[in-house]
Structure formats: C-alpha cells, structure tokens
Structure 1
Amino acid sequence: MARMLPLAAVVLALGATAFIAPQATPTSTALGARRSARSAPQAAKASSLTGSSVGLGLAAVSVGLALARCSLTQRRLRLAGKDIPRNKELAYALICSVYGVGKTTAFKICVDTALDPHKIVNELSEEEEIRLAEEIEKYTLENPLRRMYKANCKVLVEIKHRRGVRMAKGLPVRFQRSKTNNRNARKLNPGRF
C-alpha cells in the first residue's frame, strides 16, 4: 500500500514556479488571460520570485498558510441536527442533507433569509448562518417529521382506511396498478406495520 505524502512534500517535489508565478503562454494570452491586469510591481515581484530556492520556500509557506487558513475557517454547520456539506451550493446542500426539505422549501428558505441559493455554503458569514438556522427552526423536519408521518400512517391502519389496509399489505396506496406491476415491492416490502 502506497504511503501518502504530506502536501508540503508534494509541493516541494513539484517545484514552486507553478504555484507562485504561472507564465503566460501564447494560448492563454490569446484566450484572454488576465496577465495584463497585474500591476507592474506585482509582475516584477512575481518574475523575481521564480528563482529555485526562494520560490520553493515561498511556495511551501504559501501553501501551508492556505491549508492552515482552510482548517481554521472550516466551522461545522449544523442545521436541524444534520451536518450541512460546505462545498455545495446552499439550496442543493439543504435538499441533500435535511429530511423534509425539497427543492421548493429550500428555495423558499433562501428567499426568506435573503440569501442567494447558489452561494457556496462555505462562503456564508456567521450572521447569515444564524439567520438560516432561525428560519429552518420554523419548519418541522428530520425526526419529528418522520414520527408525524409514521403516526399518520398508523392512524390509517387502525381505522382500517383503504390506504391503511394497502399500507399494511405492502401494496401501492395511490391507485397504481397492482395486478402485474409492483412485484418487487410486494416481495421486498411485505408490510409497513
């Protein structure tokens, strides 16, 4: 099994010029690279730092600082008792991680809190996270919603409603065809209660 190298060792092995001052190629300038937007002092500084030992040390330090900054700013975001992934867009992260939040609810939460639904979760400020948590507390989500759904189904079974009877038998509830279809459902889900 291969041993994993620390990122600083990989940076040192690759060299520093790629991390400090990427050189403009004819293709990149033709495609409209922002090389010209760099000011003259910055360009001179970048070209002087492409030396072997100085650039190598600065690259390792800058990558190390970036890693330290990422690890320090990575706070956990817990909403409705679930960890929200920080690398996804806000609406999509809510849809994927919180039971009871679908597309409509996620976008409604974003509109009510005046947040961009396409903003990455990691870019949220603490104040925005607090607003988001306060808005999500207004909804019935996760385990309370699951308990409520289970209790509603149990009532239907107890009063022997048509839907409750079909739930107990493991058959489709909403008038789907069951003469030939739903074979796997009938085999794998013998009954909900």
Structure 2
Amino acid sequence: MARIFGIEIPNEKRIEASLRYIYGIGPTTASRILDQAGIDPNLRTGQLSEDQLVKIGTVIQGEGIIIEGDLRREKQSQLKRLTSINCVRGIRHKRGLPVRGQRTRTNARTRKGKRKTVGVKK
C-alpha cells in the first residue's frame, strides 16, 4: 500500500478515489490536488512512482490543506469553544441533540440514541 503523510491508501483503486481515504480530502479536493500535481486521475495508486507520491504530498502542503490529526484537533477545539461560551449550538452538542434546528419530537434518533421508555409508576 502506498503511504502519504503516514496514511496508507489502497493500491488497487484509482488515485482520485484513494486520496479520499485521507481524512479531510474529498472528491473535489482530490481532483484539484491531482490537477496541480499533473497526475492522471485514472491511474491506479500502485502504478504511481515514488516521486509522484512525493509531488502529491508537496501539493497538499503547499495548498495548506489541513488533514488528519490537525483537522480533528481543530474541529475539537471549535466544539470546545462553542460549549465554553454556552451558546445554543454548544448546549445542543453537550446534550447530544440535533444542532441545526431539526425537529426532535419524532425523529432525531441518530443524535438522541435508542429510545428510553418511561414507565408510569402507581
């Protein structure tokens, strides 16, 4: 398997699809990286030479694309900031409820988790 920034990407897939295995790189970013590196997106990852992999790495660094650990840390710090200032979004994150205005009366099971039945006590 080929390695870029310590992340193993699959050899049998096209390089455009393989780059998406890196956290923070999606389809648009992957195609932009390959355009700037001058690499055919239809090539398989296993067919790339070592200098082509290095070229992809330099393009990622040169563009200032935040990936993997740095991106995870940045997202975590943004969530901490929201919860520390006690804004509505931060409170919703703390309680595990939907953040962006979705209804919670019937749906929202992904955020709320499994139903907890409340019994009536006599």
TM range (shorter): 0.7 to 0.9
Unaligned runs of 5+ in 2: 115-122
Q: 1:170 to 1:128 in 2, by over 3 A?
A: same
- 1:88-139 Cα distance to aligned partner (Å, 9 max, x none): 10010111x2111111111111111111112111111222111011112332
Q: Does 1:91 align with 2:1?
A: no
Tell whether the 8 Å contact from 1:80 to 1:98 is kept in structure 2 after alignment.
Answer: no
For residue 180 of structure 1, the aligned residue among 92, 98, 106 is 106
Q: Does 1:134 align with 2:58?
A: yes
Write the distance in 2 (CA, Å) between the matches of 1:170 and 1:180: 16
Bigger share in helix: 1
Write the distance in 2 (CA, Å) between the matches of 1:184 and 1:108: 33
When normalised by structure 1's length, the TM-score is 0.55
Tell whether the 8 Å contact from 2:2 to 2:46 is kept in structure 1 after alignment.
Answer: no
Give SS of 1:78's match. Answer: strand
Q: Does 1:77 align with 2:2?
A: yes
Q: Which residue of 2 aligns with 1:19?
A: none
Q: Which residue of 2 aligns with 1:166?
A: 92
Q: Which residue of 1 aligns with 2:83?
A: 157
Write the distance in 1 (CA, Å) between the matches of 2:109 and 2:12: 40
Write the distance in 1 (CA, Å) between the matches of 2:110 and 2:7: 32
Question: What's the CA shift for 1:158?
Answer: 0.4
Write the distance in 2 (CA, Å) between the matches of 1:184 and 1:127: 44
Give SS of 1:83's match. Answer: strand
Tell whether the 8 Å contact from 2:37 to 2:56 is kept in structure 1 after alignment.
Answer: yes
Q: Which amino acid aligns with 2:78?
A: N
Q: Which residue of 2 aligns with 1:102?
A: 26
Q: Which residue of 1 aligns with 2:40?
A: 116
- 1:58-77 Cα distance to aligned partner (Å, 9 max, x none): xxxxxxxxxxxxxxxxxx42
Write the distance in 2 (CA, Å) between the matches of 1:143 and 1:163: 24
Tell whether the 8 Å contact from 2:4 to 2:53 is kept in structure 1 after alignment.
Answer: no
* Greater RCO (CA < 8 Å, at least 6 residues apart): 2
Count of matched residue positions in the alignment of Structure 1 and Structure 2: 112
Question: What's the CA shift for 1:149?
Answer: 0.2
When normalised by structure 2's length, the TM-score is 0.84
Tell whether the 8 Å contact from 1:77 to 1:84 is kept in structure 2 after alignment.
Answer: yes
